Amino acid sequence: MQPITHFQSRTVVLPTKDIDTDQIIPARFLTTTTREGLGQALFHDLRFAADGSMIDDFVLNTPEADGCEILVAGKNLGCGSSREHAPWALLDYGFRAVISTEIADIFRNNSLKNGLIPIVVDAATHEFLLRNPGIKLDIDVRTATLTLPDGGIVQFPIDGFARYCLVEGIDQLGYLRQQMDEILKFEETRSWTP
């Protein structure tokens, strides 16, 4: 995995609450056996009408969304299905971070494992971001901070281990495999076997 330390981008805002992973990528696109190219399916049924035509006023289809790498969304982003295709699709489309007041557990976990930074902010910051789409934010994973255009700094919570892995570009499976002696010992000494 490539280390992720620091980046800047403008935001695109999708204020809807409870955006589930079925909306992020509908199930009919999950028949793939790879993780490439899923950006095309991102928010598919919000971006395209049933006849395949583009829905011009959906925010991702507007010219202002071009090049935006930060998605600001309503609370409880990523609820529902555990499909990791959701962060894969967001990353493939070009997003590098998602911001909300609340991010669903499995989606947050999946995002961290793939280098999509899930950022939970307080209600006041969230409100400011919702009201000011397109502003440029500076995200520093090393310090777990987000810097607003006026220089205001917002600290965001991120699991220390996940942050370490992101910043150093460490694959969590590698770390887990280093624990193999402990795993073997556990298997040998546990009081019952499944």
Give, to the nearest 10 degrees, the angle between helix 85-93 and helix 105-114. Answer: 50
Binding site for another protein (CB under 8 A): 15-18, 20, 22-23, 26-28, 30-35, 45, 50, 74-76, 79-84, 102, 104-106, 109-110, 113-114, 159-161, 164, 172-173, 175-177, 179-180, 182-183, 186-187, 190, 192, 194
Shortest Cβ 135–another protein spacing (Å): 21
Q: Which is nearer to another protein, 118 or 137 (CB)?
A: 118
Least Å distance, CB 8 to another protein, is 27
Please state, as a whole number, how many other Cβ atoms lie within 10 Å of the Cβ of residue 89.
24
Q: In this complex, which beta carbon is closest to another protein, that of residue 12 or of residue 87?
A: 87
Q: Concatenate the DSSP letters of all residues of 4-34 into one string.
A: --EEEEEEEEE--SS-BHHHHS-GGGTT-SS
Task: Give the tokens for residue 144.
Answer: 């777990």
Shortest Å, Cβ 44 to another protein: 9
Using the 8-state DSSP alphabet, how is residue 191 labeled? S
